[in-house]
Amino acid sequence: ARRRWTNRRVERSRYSMSLFVWYFGTKRTYPDVRHHTILLGPRYKALLDDIFEKKVLADDFSLYLHRPTATDPSMAPEGHDAFYVLSPVPHLDSGLDWATRAETYRRAISQYLGDTVLPDLEGQIVTSRVLTPQGFHDDYLAFKGAAFSLEPVLTQSAFFRPHNASEDIEHLYLVGAGTHPGAGMPGVLSSARVLDTVVPDPAAFASRSPSAEAVTA
């Protein structure tokens, strides 16, 4: 039985927000848009409360817009542009049905971008794909669809996250956003590097394995 990370502890832990991510390409370029753009909505603390505490989908949003073609034009065909935009949203404890809400939310984001930094956006789209909290759960096995796994409050940070060598199951090793040291690309890559120091040499397991003769006997 697991004594440290029981089902109850996992369920009762606090989890990060999720994300609504929209990937799209356009049949024109937007040369005035930089590689990274942050568009802040009218609210800050209240929006965070909606996401983390109330777990409701707010009418307003703050967005991160990514345009890789600003740095590498080969990311899209000539005369075209490539983007993704992400919006922080509640994880799946919100009870939101993303199968019915996704397109409405995408259109709201498209309208906002069209009114601000990407004129006539909706009429320029040639390819489009969305990733919702349900997708994080179904496609990437993210618990509750939380994009960054455990929320990094003090009692769930660093040493207090699940250790890279499982505290409950011998020879089980953990890597990724939900383990030490934390989420985000640097944290996830660092957790992979940590495994270099905690995973035993495979020879240690081979020496304790039954011999081929014993297995076939």
Q: Helix 133-140 vs helix 98-115: angle between axes, to the nearest 10 degrees?
A: 120
Please name the helix (run of DSSP H) or strand (run of DSSP E) that holds residue 26, with its range, or none: strand 18-26
Distance CA 166, CA 65 (A): 37
Please check whether residues 135 and 193 belong to one and the same domain.
no
- Indicate the average pLDDT of the chain: 92
Please check whether residues 162 and 138 belong to one and the same domain.
no
Please check whether residues 124 and 173 belong to one and the same domain.
no
Give the pLDDT confidence of 132-172 residue by residue, as tens digits: 999 999 999 999 999 999 998 888 988 899 999 999 999 89
1 within a domain of the structure (yes/no):
no
Q: How far apart are the first and last CA of the chain?
A: 33
Q: How many structural domains is the chain composed of?
A: 2
Q: Which domain holds residue 209?
A: 152-217
Closest to 156 (Cα-Cα) out of 16, 6, 3, 8 = 16
Please check whether residues 99 and 168 belong to one and the same domain.
no
End residue of a domain, out of 109, 125, 143:
143
In terms of DSSP bridges, do strands 63-66 and 125-131 run parallel, antiparallel, or are they unpaired? unpaired
End residue of a domain, out of 111, 143, 175:
143
Which is more confidently placed, 205 or 132?
A: 132
Please check whether residues 100 and 22 belong to one and the same domain.
yes
The first and second tokens of residue 45, run together, are 């603390």
